[in-house]
Amino acid sequence: MAYDYKQRKDVIYNIINSSTEVADKTSISDIESETNGSLTFNNGIKGWVVSIFVDLVNSTELFKDKNDKTIAKVIRTFASETIQILNDTQMYKRIGVRGDCVFAIFASPNQENVLEAYNMAVEINTLKKMINKILKQNSMPHIDYGIGVGLSKDLVIKVGKKGVINDLVFIGKAVVNASNLSNLASRNGIGSIAIDPLVYSNIVKQKTIENKNFPTWFEIEYEKDSRGHDTSEVMFYHGSVIKTKFDEWIDGGMQNQWESNIRIKLGN
C-alpha cells in the first residue's frame, strides 16, 4: 500500500502541535514501563546514560575476496561474544547491532554503573585476543575493533507506531560520543579503547585506588584544528587496557579445568 502523504500530513501536524512533557530523572531504568506513565509517544525522559560502541576496523577490506560462510562465521563470533559481555549486567540496557558494529546503552544513575560499563569495555578488548587466536587456529582472517564509551544526560523518546514498532531514540552526547570514538579507536595510533572526558572523570578515582598506575594507562588526545594542530580542548582519552587474568588464560592455552583433568588422566 502506498504511503498516503495527504493523510500523513495531518499526523505530522498533530505531532508537532502536541503537548510534550520531558521529565528530568536521575535514572531511566523504567522508560519502557507504560503502566506507571513513564514513557509514552507523547512525552520524553531525560536521564544519565552510558553507551558502548564496538566497531570492526576496515571490515570491507578485511572480508574482500572471502567466501560468505567465512564472513558469516567471523561476524557471528564477534557479535555474539560481544553481546554476551554487554548483556551480563543488572543495569537497564538496550543492545543492538548496526552493520558491523555492536552497541549498548545503559542506565547510569551512579558512578558504579559507569565503572561497570568501563570494565565491560576492557573485557571486550581482551576478548579480541581470544577470538583471533581461535580464528588463526581455523585459518580465518584476523579481526580488529575499536571500542568507544560515552556518558551524558540524554533525552529519551519513544518513536514508531503502537502495535507495530516501539523503538527508543537516545538524543545526546553519550551515544554520539561512543559511536564516534569507536570509529577512532584502534586506528592511526589510537588505543583500542577510547572514552570521553566525562567517563574518565567518573572512573579515575576508583580505578586509581585499585591500581595506582591507572592514570598512565590512558593518553589524552586533543581535538585538531583545520591545520591539524592540537587545540586546548580535550577530546578523549585512549588506551589498550586488558583483563590480566583473562589474558593470562589465553596465553596459557585457554584450557578449562575439565580439559586439564582429561589430559592428566590420559598422561599427556
Q: Which three cell numbers stand for residue 63?
A: 572480508
Residues of the chain with pLDDT under 70: 1-43, 161-166, 223-234, 256-268
pLDDT of residue 22: 47
pLDDT of 224 reads 62
Domain boundaries, the chain: 23-31+39-266
Alpha carbons within 13 A on the beta-carbon side of 248 = 3
What grid cell was written down for 239? 588506551
**pLDDT score for 11:** 56
Three-state DSSP at 60 gives helix
Q: pTM, whole model, 2 decimals? A: 0.81
Output the pLDDT for position 3: 46
pLDDT for the residue numbered 69: 81
Cell digits for 107? Answer: 542506565
* 214: Cβ contacts below 8 Å, ≥ 6 apart: 204, 207, 208
Cell of residue 127, nine digits: 576478548
Q: What does the alpha-carbon distance between residue 190 and residue 221 come to, in Å, rounded to a whole number? A: 9
201 is written with which cell numbers?
572523570
23-31+39-266 is classed in which CATH architecture?
A: 2-Layer Sandwich (3.30)
The Cα angle at residue 136 between residues 184 and 123, in degrees rounded to 5: 45
The answer to whether 133 and 153 are in contact (CB under 8 A) is: no
| Secondary structure class of 199 (helix, strand, coil) | helix
Nearest to 155 by CA among 136, 143, 168: 168
CB atoms within 10 A of CB 94: 19
